[in-house]
Amino acid sequence: MTDEKNLISLFEESRPHLCAVAYRMLGSRSEADDAVQETWLRLSRAETSEVENLRGWLTTVVARVCLDMLRSRKARAEDGDVVPEEAATSNAEDEAVLADSVSIALLVVLETLEPVERLAFVLHDLFGVSFDEIAPIVGRSEVAARQLASRARRRVRGAPERDEAELARQHDIVKALLGALRAGDVEAVVAVLDPNVVVHGGGAGGRAREIRSVRNLARSAIGFARTAHAFDTAEPALVDGTVGAIYAPGGRLSRALRLTFGEGVITRIDVIDDEDGLKTLEIATLG
């Protein structure tokens, strides 16, 4: 494995896998690219003639790099430094590609985990890396690594005891709402709303709005969705235990809909888009 051209070729074969690992670890395309580049630099300086499984070796290296980056990010945030977010993410088509490659809800939940929890969950649950391989990366025993992943899994998937049939019905309603908003279909929006739906606007002190016409509300929501691109890549997620919707460009939560259901329609909509309000929400994936 000493031939440089061969080494480059083998690394490029593993690049898509390494990018996938890094993106799920970091939630940022630019940071993931940086992590993969650092992995290449470490490979180019390492003695790998005895390495039998280069893909596994590279996975370990990129995981260590990402863990260091996550710890550095957390330390900066705790010191009060502003952690820069990814560059502007207004390109809806680009964001849609990301949404197809990994659940935005998953990225949002992963941001709430401790770095070692995130690493254990991502490597084991998403990429099938064994706990005996994960343990030395996080500096814990194999049993402790299992516990890290288990704790993360509970956060990612939400409460274990829930009515799956009811969640499936809520999921269908939310998907229909988001699809109707994107399509600009007023009647389809109206179909999933209670005629007396109550809407609480954005902001911590948002007051309930009196809905004189659910059809006018639907038109207003469609207009807002189009002008603000508010739901271009929104997706269903568990919001405080029931199915709602989140908009999180680049994996950074910026708006959430907390919904109340009754008789197969939405009876209340809470729009949360202020930083303090978003921090209080419990977000979990549906998958």
Q: What is the CATH number of the domain that holds 233?
A: 3.10.450.50
CATH of the domain at 136: 1.20.140.160
Residues 235, 187 within the same domain? yes
Residues 174, 68 within the same domain? no
Cβ atoms of 236 and 171 within 8 Å: the answer is: yes
Residues 150, 170 within the same domain? no
Given this model, what pLDDT does residue 58 score? 95
Range of the domain at 33: 4-157
Pairing of strands 255-262, 283-284: unpaired
> What mean pLDDT value characterizes the chain?
85
Residues 170, 227 within the same domain? yes
Cβ atoms of 218 and 186 within 8 Å: the answer is: yes
Of 254, 281, 270, 252, which Cα lies nearest the Cα of 98?
252
Cβ atoms of 285 and 248 within 8 Å: the answer is: no
CA distances from 104 to 49, 95, 157 (A): 39, 10, 14
| Confidence at 131, pLDDT banded by 50, 70, 90 | very high
Residues 152, 214 within the same domain? no
Residues 230, 136 within the same domain? no
Note the residue count of the chain: 287
For the ranges 61-70, 116-125, 155-164, the lowest mean pLDDT is seen at 155-164
51-101, pLDDT tens digit by residue? 889 999 999 999 999 999 999 988 887 776 655 555 444 444 444 444 455
Give me the number of domains the chain comprises: 2
Residues 179, 109 within the same domain? no
- DSSP structure class, residue 3: -
pTM score: 0.71
236-284, pLDDT tens digit by residue? 999 988 899 999 887 788 999 999 999 899 999 999 999 888 988 889 8
Looking at 127, 157, 187, which one is the last position of a domain? Answer: 157
Residues 33, 153 within the same domain? yes
